[in-house]
Structure 1
Amino acid sequence: MTDQYELFYQPGDAVAFTVTEHDGARGVDELATEDPREVAKIVPLVPALRQGGAVLAVQATVLLPLAPHGLALGATVHHAAYDGASSTHFLHTWVAVCAARKVPPELPVMDRSFIVDREDMHDFFTAPRAQKGFDSPDAMDRLVATYALLAAHLQSIKDTIVGEAARRGIVPPPRCTSIVATYGVMWLCHLRATQGNNNGGHDDDDGRAYFLFVTDHRRWMKPRIPSRYFGNCVGPCYASMHRRKLSLPPPP
């Protein structure tokens, strides 16, 4: 076992929990739709992490004049503590308790013995390394929207891939899952929306485009980690392709 700690606790450490009120609740409903929403209107409902290594902050906002039935729950998480699967389970559990559901979600698994600790893990993650970062533009003047890909859309993409493989004589055709089809749509739409814009390192001078996403490692670990494991258990995946193969012209 390593003699270096990854998480350090001292008396007085706690999770920041804020209860506040919002007097413009009648305009909050528009934030729960799939239509474009202003990020600036969402930010007040989300807490900020305290300086000094805080890993979680929770904010419960009472929506006036909808009280006592209107409540917005916001959580800000440090990714070193746990990943999206864990934070989503946390929110689902909170909602189940508030709704007094008879069958609440399964409790999270907090057993850290599932993760095999390597002796060089601390040195590996703290060693300086050169890497190209991504730009983080100010999002306060941006809009965020939700797009739904129906089963018919995904099946159409899969059928297109099978047809193209047959045209090229590729047997058997490449396996295309729903998540692969979804990522393909996301990648192509993003590139079309940012043509001519390097946009934080997604393209290089040779005309190649890159796609970065994360995958859940729980089911692939040995021993296998429970799906409700509470922690950070994701890893990066990369895809690279020349822009011409994506039916996009190279950036000027």
Structure 2
Amino acid sequence: MAPQPLHPVTVLEQCHVSPSPAPAAGQPRVLPLTFFDLVFWGFPPVQRLLFYDNADLLGVSDFTLGELPRIKKSLAAALHHFYPLAGKLTCEMAEGVVPEVVFSQGDSVPLTVAVSGDDFEDLAGDHARDTTRLHPLLPALRKHGGSRSQDVLAVQVTVFPRAGICIGTTLHHAVADGSSYAHFLRTWAAIHRLGPECRKVLEMDVPPLFDRGVVRDDAGLREAFLRDHRGLAAAGDRRLDGWDLSLRPGVVLATFRFTDKQLRALGGHVESATSARCSPYALACGAAWAGIVHARGGGSGRNVDGAAAAPRAHFGFVTGCKPRASPPIPANYFGNCLGLCRVEAGERGLTAAAASAAIWRVIEGLAEEGRALRDARGWVRSVREYASARAVTVAGSPKLRLYAAADFGGAWGRPRKVEIASVERTGAVALAESGRDGDGGIEVGLALPRAEMEAFRAFYQDLFASLC
């Protein structure tokens, strides 16, 4: 049984927001899923929370009468450009059924407006918070037609009187990756921020490209992935559940900030220990990976629960394939376009230096032409192998610059905090650029059982204390 929310919200309104104006007649209404999309079929949806503080927000009526109509209007205008997000995704993978996103006239994005009595300041902090407190802020994707199709995107705005608001979004990962999500969010925020002046800005921005013809599939990966998914479904494969902590009690979410100064110090240490000159991304990932392995008991060869530990530690991250495809895929392409990268290292006593160097070696190897897609044929099944091994993976990227993308202007500005709450179900660490002020560094968010989180925090503190 799933843990119950500690602070349920009160729903004020549930409505639907359609693209306005409707998309042009020449725009495609059906978007077949590509092999890049099919990699993420069956994954939990990506759920983000954007916290905006505003102590001048006196009460619910101030928001519903003043700001809410503007949010609805700007969302509708953004959906004009990103109308597939208002469509429906087919849920079936049977023979003869083509997985696709279908947009029909009148389709919409469900929008929930709620009010919470929870502590906004506490929820938007970096310290460990029970994940059950965040669940009421996240909208669900509805299913339709006897579960034959489902929504692509859902949005919830939760008001915290005299404190601020939280915008929660739930997006099906088989429809869009982080880059496409950031493009949508940047467009929505710009329309809201600039009002009537937004047209000039949007004319300068590159609109999303929905043409699936730009994704070459000479190796027949799409059909191969469809066969893999059908075979896994027939076998009742549930290995992705190996990452899911949402049904366990006592799971907490926390954020750890890696400042520029800390990353430089760590980089010097890694170079002296391994000769690898790592990027900040590899350093933050390596420290997080080593810390999680340590928190699970990898340093002692035993897990926290006393079970025998696996001899190898596994890490996975994604790499953007738009510039690496042949021919290159335009940067404004809307959908998934990510390659999967795997890293392994000895689990016992894994250090931040060894983990960072191992990740960096794989990143360096991507410079070889064709390397990013060389092992693509096995992606669907290898993801499930990694889930069963409880591999640490990555969600988000500092390159997405979500704090800047989500600048709604006016009384809100940039969010105080951005969380990828769905890491609770995907075994991932969430990466973002550090802070609303763009002051450098990388934020690392992760969900762990409380005892493991305390062990991770001790590892993090000891690591940087040793580098001072």
Give the equivalent residue in structure 1 for 2:221: 121
Give the equivalent residue in structure 1 for 2:99: 6
Q: Does 1:34 align with 2:134?
A: no
Q: Does 1:231 align with 2:327?
A: no
Give the equivalent residue in structure 2 for 1:209: 313
Shift in CA distance, 8/63, structure 1 to aligned 2, threshold 3 Å? closer
Contact kept, 8 Å, 1:54 with 1:78, in 2: the verdict is no
Displacement of 1:12 in angstroms is 6.9
CA distance in 1, matches of 2:218, 2:97: 11
Contact kept, 8 Å, 2:120 with 2:164, in 1: the verdict is no
Q: Does 1:136 align with 2:244?
A: yes
Give the equivalent residue in structure 1 for 2:285: 183
CA distance in 2, matches of 1:112, 1:244: 45
Displacement of 1:121 in angstroms is 3.4
Give the equivalent residue in structure 2 for 1:56: 152
Give the equivalent residue in structure 1 for 2:180: 86
Unaligned stretches of 5+ residues in structure 1: 166-172
CA distance in 2, matches of 1:186, 1:72: 27
CA distance in 2, matches of 1:45, 1:77: 14
CA distance in 1, matches of 2:129, 2:186: 23
Partner SS for 1:20:
strand
Contact kept, 8 Å, 1:15 with 1:56, in 2: the verdict is no
Contact kept, 8 Å, 2:112 with 2:139, in 1: the verdict is no
Give the equivalent residue in structure 2 for 1:111: 211
Q: Does 1:20 align with 2:128?
A: no
Q: For structure 1, which segment, 76-85 or 8-17, has the greater mean C-alpha deviation from structure 2 after superposition?
A: 8-17
CA distance in 1, matches of 2:351, 2:119: 41
Displacement of 1:44 in angstroms is 1.6
Residue-by-residue CA offset, 1:50-108 (whole Å, 9 max, x unaligned): 22332523223251535xx9543221111110112222332233222222276466533
Shift in CA distance, 9/40, structure 1 to aligned 2, threshold 3 Å? same
Shift in CA distance, 74/33, structure 1 to aligned 2, threshold 3 Å? same
Displacement of 1:47 in angstroms is 1.1
Contact kept, 8 Å, 1:6 with 1:122, in 2: the verdict is no
- Would you tell me which structure has more strand in proportion to its own residues? 2
Shift in CA distance, 174/135, structure 1 to aligned 2, threshold 3 Å? closer
Residue identity opposite 1:217 in structure 2: C
Shift in CA distance, 108/35, structure 1 to aligned 2, threshold 3 Å? farther
Shift in CA distance, 39/163, structure 1 to aligned 2, threshold 3 Å? same
Give the equivalent residue in structure 2 for 1:240: 344
Shift in CA distance, 61/142, structure 1 to aligned 2, threshold 3 Å? same
Aligned length: 233
Displacement of 1:149 in angstroms is 0.7
Residue-by-residue CA offset, 1:182-235 (whole Å, 9 max, x unaligned): 111011010111112399xxx63xx11111222222221122223332211112
Shift in CA distance, 62/8, structure 1 to aligned 2, threshold 3 Å? closer
CA distance in 2, matches of 1:38, 1:108: 37
- Would you tell me which structure has more helix in proportion to its own residues? 2
Residue identity opposite 1:151 in structure 2: D
Shift in CA distance, 34/97, structure 1 to aligned 2, threshold 3 Å? farther
CA distance in 2, matches of 1:35, 1:106: 38
Q: Does 1:77 align with 2:171?
A: yes
CA RMSD of aligned residues (A): 3.4
Give 4+ residue runs of structure 1 displaced > 4 Å after superposition: 10-13, 101-106, 129-133
Shift in CA distance, 97/29, structure 1 to aligned 2, threshold 3 Å? farther
CA distance in 2, matches of 1:227, 1:8: 21
TM-score, normalising length: structure 2: 0.44
Displacement of 1:109 in angstroms is 3.0
Unaligned stretches of 5+ residues in structure 2: 1-33, 35-95, 353-468
Displacement of 1:11 in angstroms is 4.8
TM-score, normalising length: structure 1: 0.76
Q: Does 1:218 align with 2:314?
A: no
CA distance in 2, matches of 1:92, 1:107: 12
Identity %: 26
Shift in CA distance, 141/87, structure 1 to aligned 2, threshold 3 Å? farther
